[in-house]
């Protein structure tokens, strides 16, 4: 029997979704789900490391779940669940801990960056670093290894974590002399370039330069009008490829629209205000239907909860199979 390959990825509910998440993660993952058996989940226990307000965390979980559904995730095709609904994840984490050297965690980029920042601020190297952050790659390895994925679509910053999952799985397979855990591969979407933010840096919630995916139209327009531009006058010819407005425009506009705007840029006679209005037009065209779907989905709490519960019910037997295989190999069967 031909078996489809498996793709798995997790999304941390640490903030409101923005268009960088949409073009960089959600859209490519939904494209991948057409070819692969997809398992996509909300990494709520990962978010707990940084989000300590219960109302905020609960709201982000629902927003991210509704966001994926509004963007087109079909829960009949994709197994879509909350990490916290799969207790096998946490049992597997305990097993993986026994096979994870502390040195491996010391080398994790996110931990090293946090230590570096503390040192620069003349603080204790581990100030503000909890064990959840330190052991983050082990929990992530459990998320992955539990479901035997072939590929894990992630952003470039997450590749090291997937490599750590490979290392840990290889250690286990070597110790128990068998292919107990499948070795996953990271898949970085080459075409999903970095989406620029309002200030020209990478769009990121940590820079406060985002365009939220579901912003009301008035706010959307205001944000677009705030995009930083240079002081070139209306009559001056402009280079589209160095313009934030144009780079964002490319994500939303058809090929003809892109060519037409590029021509106007190069020709001169178009001010930044006009370019922003044109950007707003295409952004609104794509995001309005998405926002309407999002608002309907998020308003219906029982239906949203049911979708996630149904996803968990499909995911748990798969997780139990892997966990039981490993428990038996380890001599902890029963």
Question: Given candidates 10, 20, 196, 311, which one binds ligand TRP under the rule CB under 6 A?
Answer: 10
Contact 214, 208 (CB under 8 A): no
Distance from C-alpha of 127 to C-alpha of 37, rounded to nearest angstrom = 41
∠ CA 86-87-91, nearest 5°, is 130
Binding partner selected for residue 205 from ligand ADP, ligand TRP, none, CB under the kind-specific 5 to 8 Å limit: ligand ADP
Question: CB under 5 to 8 A by kind: which of ligand TRP, ligand ADP, none does 206 bind?
Answer: ligand ADP
Nearer to ligand ADP, 99 or 294 (CB): 294
What DSSP letter does each residue of 217-280 carry, written as one string?
HHHHHHHHHT-------TTS---GGG-HHHHHHHHHS-HHHHHHHHHHHHH----HHHHHHHHH
Subset of 42-81 contacting ligand ADP (CB under 6 A): none
Tokens standing for residue 43:
């990494």
Q: Output 12 or 82, the one with its CB closest to ligand TRP.
A: 12
* Position 154 contacts ligand TRP (CB under 6 A): yes
Among 75, 155, 200, 271, binds ligand ADP (CB under 6 A): 155
Lookup: tokens for 253: 């506009």
Q: Which does 325 bind (CB under 5 to 8 A by kind): ligand ADP, ligand TRP, none?
A: none
Q: Which residues touch 323 (CB under 8 Å, ≥6 apart)?
A: 88, 91, 92, 146
- Which of ligand TRP, ligand ADP, none has residue 204 at its interface (CB below 5 to 8 Å by kind)? ligand ADP
Minimum Å gap between C-beta 143 and ligand TRP is 4
Total binding residues toward ligand TRP, as defined by CB under 6 A: 13
CB atoms within 10 A of CB 333: 10
Q: Binding residue for ligand ADP (CB under 6 A) from 142, 195, 253, 298?
A: 195
Number of CB atoms found within 10 A of residue 52's CB: 9
Q: How far apart are CA 151 and CA 148, in angstroms?
A: 9
Quote the CA–CA distance of 133 and 111 in Å, as a whole number.
7
Q: Is 86 in the site for ligand TRP (CB under 6 A)?
A: no
Out of 47, 66, 71, 140, point to the residue binding ligand TRP (CB under 6 A): 140
Decide which of ligand ADP, ligand TRP, none touches 291; Cβ closer than 5 to 8 Å per partner kind. none
Least distance between ligand TRP and beta carbon 199 (Å): 22
Per DSSP (E only), the strands in the chain are: 6-11, 37-42, 79-82, 151-154, 185-188
Nearest to 295 by CA among 88, 82, 69, 102: 69
Closest distance of CB 269 from ligand ADP, Å: 31
Exactly one of 24, 67, 137, 149 binds ligand ADP (CB under 6 A); which one? 24
Tokens of 237: 């010819």
Residue 203 touches ligand ADP, criterion: CB under 6 A = yes
Asked if residue 13 lies in contact with residue 56, where contact means CB atoms within 8 angstroms, the answer is no
Does the footprint of ligand TRP cover residue 196 (CB under 6 A)? no
What residues make contact with ligand ADP under the rule CB under 6 A? 12, 14, 20-21, 24-25, 154-155, 192, 194-195, 202-206
What residues make contact with ligand TRP under the rule CB under 6 A? 8-10, 12, 43, 46, 140, 143-144, 152, 154, 158, 161
């Amino acid at each position: 029997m031909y078996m489809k390959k498996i793709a798995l990825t997790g999304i941390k509910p640490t903030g409101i979704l923005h268009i960088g998440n949409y073009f960089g993660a959600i859209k490519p993952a939904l494209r991948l789900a057409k070819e692969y058996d997809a398992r996509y989940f909300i990494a709520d226990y990962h978010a707990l490391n940084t989000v300590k307000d219960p109302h905020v965390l609960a709201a982000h979980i629902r927003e991210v779940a509704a966001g994926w559904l509004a963007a087109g995730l079909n829960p009949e095709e994709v197994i879509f669940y909350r990490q916290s609904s799969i207790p096998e994840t946490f049992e597997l984490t305990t097993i993986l801990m026994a096979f994870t050297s502390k040195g491996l965690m010391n080398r994790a980029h996110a931990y090293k960056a946090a230590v570096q920042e503390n040192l620069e601020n003349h603080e204790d190297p581990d100030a503000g670093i909890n064990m959840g952050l330190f052991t983050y790659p082990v929990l992530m390895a459990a998320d992955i290894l539990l479901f035997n994925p072939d590929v894990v679509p992630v952003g470039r910053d997450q590749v090291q974590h997937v490599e750590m999952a490979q290392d840990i799985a290889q250690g286990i397979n070597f110790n128990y002399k068998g292919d107990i855990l499948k070795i996953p591969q990271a898949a970085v979407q080459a075409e999903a370039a970095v989406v620029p933010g309002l200030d020209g840096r990478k769009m990121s919630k940590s820079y406060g330069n985002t365009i939220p995916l579901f912003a009301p139209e008035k706010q959307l327009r205001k944000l677009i009008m705030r995009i930083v531009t240079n002081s070139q006058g209306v009559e001056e010819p402009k280079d589209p490829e160095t313009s934030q407005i144009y780079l964002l425009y490319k994500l939303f506009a058809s090929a003809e629209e892109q060519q037409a705007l590029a021509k106007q840029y190069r020709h001169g006679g178009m001010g930044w205000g006009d370019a922003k209005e044109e950007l707003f037009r295409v952004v609104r065209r794509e995001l309005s239907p998405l926002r309407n779907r999002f608002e309907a989905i998020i308003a219906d709490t029982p239906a949203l909860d049911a979708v996630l519960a149904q996803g968990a019910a499909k995911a748990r037997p798969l997780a139990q199979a892997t966990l039981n295989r490993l428990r038996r190999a380890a001599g902890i069967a029963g």
